């Protein structure tokens, strides 16, 4: 496991929802409910799942935008969760994030040059080299040098996402979390950004955590994929295995739900009609119990844990861990 750049151990995040003016009995939402995985140097780890399954929360905790409730995150063997903000600062240059909405994540009052200079300022990048570095960054992402003085509003969605990527690259990071980085873009631009991310990875030796709800996109860019459901990681496998031989019933449903852009392939969809509505996890058992077609007796009583089934494929399901 020397190759692991990021390792997380039983990571948890709870949000407390307070209702009303007086603090009444509080409701606790476990957004991330004890997950473990590691990301190897130079690979792209994809995280998929429905909205609300905790994939973004996980991504935010990995770059410490959000402190975890419990659990540990290691970056190159250093425990991030034990560090103070001050100790974090030198490490932050290695951990960067690209957000979903490039309209919201760029300051509208800063020009492109200022946006790209800000991380350099914060991390005291030598003054004399800054201009050169900014030009270099713009080259990386294919932005024209003439647009240096323009403001975010003057760029299109795809260009703004390029700016966001350039900003993330400014300090030569090792690890980038891309949270739905292409979801807001049209397919033609989406393809460009995906290719750009993959080229940059090769050139600069980056490691990505790629979060998306779009299985086609995740499958295209990732080496390994983790599937999340209600705060838990239910299956981890390399992307070909996951596509060819999904094990967890939820992974199967997810894959069958994607309409494939090929009229000769029939829509696998649900021969099973999943009932509508919310599916609260039973307090004791598997979180997927109420939606599962293949559930067993034990599933309502005991939580399954993530165990390796085959080479590089782990699954949390009682069907496979008797």
Partner 1 sequence: MEKNQPLLTVSNLTVSFKNKGRNVNAVNNLSLSMEKGEVLGLAGESGSGKTVTAMALAGLLADSKHTSVKGDIFFNGTPLPTIPNTNRFKSQRISMIFQDPLQSLNPAFTVGRQIQEVFMVRKKMTKRRARALSLDLLRQVKISSPESVAPQYPHQLSGGMCQRIMIAIALAGEPELLIADEPTTALDVTIQAQILQLLRQLHHTTKTPILLITHDLGIIAQFCHSLAIMLEGNIIEKGRVKDIFAGPLHPYTRGLLDSIPILGRKDRLKAMAPPRHSVNPVRGCSFHGRCPRKKKICEVKQPELREQEPGHFVRCFTPGGLS
Residues 6+ apart with CB under 8 A from 262: none
Instruction: Report the site for partner 1 in 133-172 (rule: CB under 8 A).
Output: 156, 158-159
Query: Can residue 296 be called a binding residue for partner 1 (CB under 8 A)?
Result: no
Instruction: Report the site for partner 1 in 31-60 (rule: CB under 8 A).
Output: 50-51
Pick the binder of partner 1 from 31, 194, 209, 211 (CB under 8 A): 194
Pick the binder of partner 1 from 70, 87, 195, 302 (CB under 8 A): 195
Cβ 280 to partner 1, closest distance in Å?
12
Query: Can residue 321 be called a binding residue for partner 1 (CB under 8 A)?
Result: no
Cβ 103 to partner 1, closest distance in Å?
13
Query: Can residue 294 be called a binding residue for partner 1 (CB under 8 A)?
Result: no
End-to-end CA distance of the chain: 27
Name residue 207's beta-bridge partners.
Answer: 175
For residues 66 and 191, which CB has a smaller minimum distance to partner 1 in the complex? Answer: 191
Task: Give 157-223 as a DSSP string.
Answer: HHHHHHHHHHHHHTT--SEEEEESTTTTS-HHHHHHHHHHHHHHHHHHT-EEEEE-S-HHHHHHH-S
> Whole-angstrom Cα distance, residue 226 to residue 65?
21
Bridging pattern class, strands 224-229 and 232-238: antiparallel
Pick the binder of partner 1 from 22, 264, 297, 322 (CB under 8 A): 264
For residues 118 and 223, which CB has a smaller minimum distance to partner 1 in the complex? Answer: 223
Q: Which stretch binds partner 1 (CB under 8 A): 34-42, 166-174, 255-263, 281-289?
A: 255-263
Cβ 264 to partner 1, closest distance in Å?
8
Residues 6+ apart with CB under 8 A from 6: 38, 39, 62, 73, 74, 75, 175, 207, 209
- Of 7, 179, 149, which is closest to residue 78 (Cα–Cα)? 7
Q: What is the chain's length?
A: 322
Number of residues located near partner 1, criterion CB under 8 A: 47
Cβ 144 to partner 1, closest distance in Å?
13
Query: Can residue 23 be called a binding residue for partner 1 (CB under 8 A)?
Result: no
Pick the binder of partner 1 from 85, 203, 278, 297 (CB under 8 A): 278
For residues 217 and 316, which CB has a smaller minimum distance to partner 1 in the complex? Answer: 217
Query: Can residue 259 be called a binding residue for partner 1 (CB under 8 A)?
Result: yes
> Whole-angstrom Cα distance, residue 231 to residue 52?
8
> Between vectors from CA 278 to CA 61 and to CA 252, what angle results, nearest 5°?
75
Cβ 44 to partner 1, closest distance in Å?
12
- CB contact at 8 A, 240 and 65: no
> What is the binding site for partner 1 (CB under 8 A)?
50-51, 156, 158-159, 186-192, 194-195, 213-217, 219-221, 243-244, 253-267, 269-270, 273-278
């Amino acid at each position: 496991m020397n190759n692991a750049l990021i390792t997380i151990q039983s990571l948890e995040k709870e949000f407390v929802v307070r209702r009303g003016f007086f603090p009444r009995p509080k409701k606790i939402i476990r957004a991330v409910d004890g997950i473990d995985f590691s990301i190897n140097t130079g690979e792209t780890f994809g995280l998929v799942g429905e909205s609300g399954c905790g994939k973004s929360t996980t991504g935010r905790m990995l770059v410490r935008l959000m402190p975890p409730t419990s659990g540990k995150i290691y970056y190159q063997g250093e425990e991030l969760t034990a560090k103070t903000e001050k100790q974090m600062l030198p490490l932050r240059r290695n951990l960067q994030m690209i957000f979903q909405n490039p309209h919201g994540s760029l300051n509208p009052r800063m020009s492109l040059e200022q946006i790209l200079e800000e991380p350099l300022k914060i991390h005291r990048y030598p003054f004399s080299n800054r201009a050169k570095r900014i030009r270099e960054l713009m080259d990386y992402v294919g932005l024209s040098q003439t647009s240096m003085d323009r403001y975010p509003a003057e760029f299109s969605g795809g260009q703004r996402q390029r700016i966001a990527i350039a900003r993330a690259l400014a300090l030569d990071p090792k690890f980038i979390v891309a949270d739905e980085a292409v979801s807001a873009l049209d397919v033609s631009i989406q393809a460009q950004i995906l290719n750009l991310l993959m080229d940059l990875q090769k050139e600069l030796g980056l490691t990505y955590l790629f979060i998306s709800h779009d299985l086609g996109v995740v499958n295209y860019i990732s080496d390994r994929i983790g599937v999340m459901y209600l705060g838990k990681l239910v299956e981890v496998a390399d992307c070909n295995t996951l596509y060819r031989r999904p094990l967890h019933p939820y992974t199967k449903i997810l894959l069958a739900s994607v309409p494939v852009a090929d009229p000769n392939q029939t829509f696998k969809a649900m021969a099973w009609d999943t009932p509508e509505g919310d599916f609260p996890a039973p307090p004791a058992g598997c979180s997927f119990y109420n939606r599962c077609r293949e559930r067993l007796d034990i599933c309502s009583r005991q939580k399954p844990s993530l165990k390796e089934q085959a080479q590089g494929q782990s699954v949390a399901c009682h069907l496979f861990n008797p």
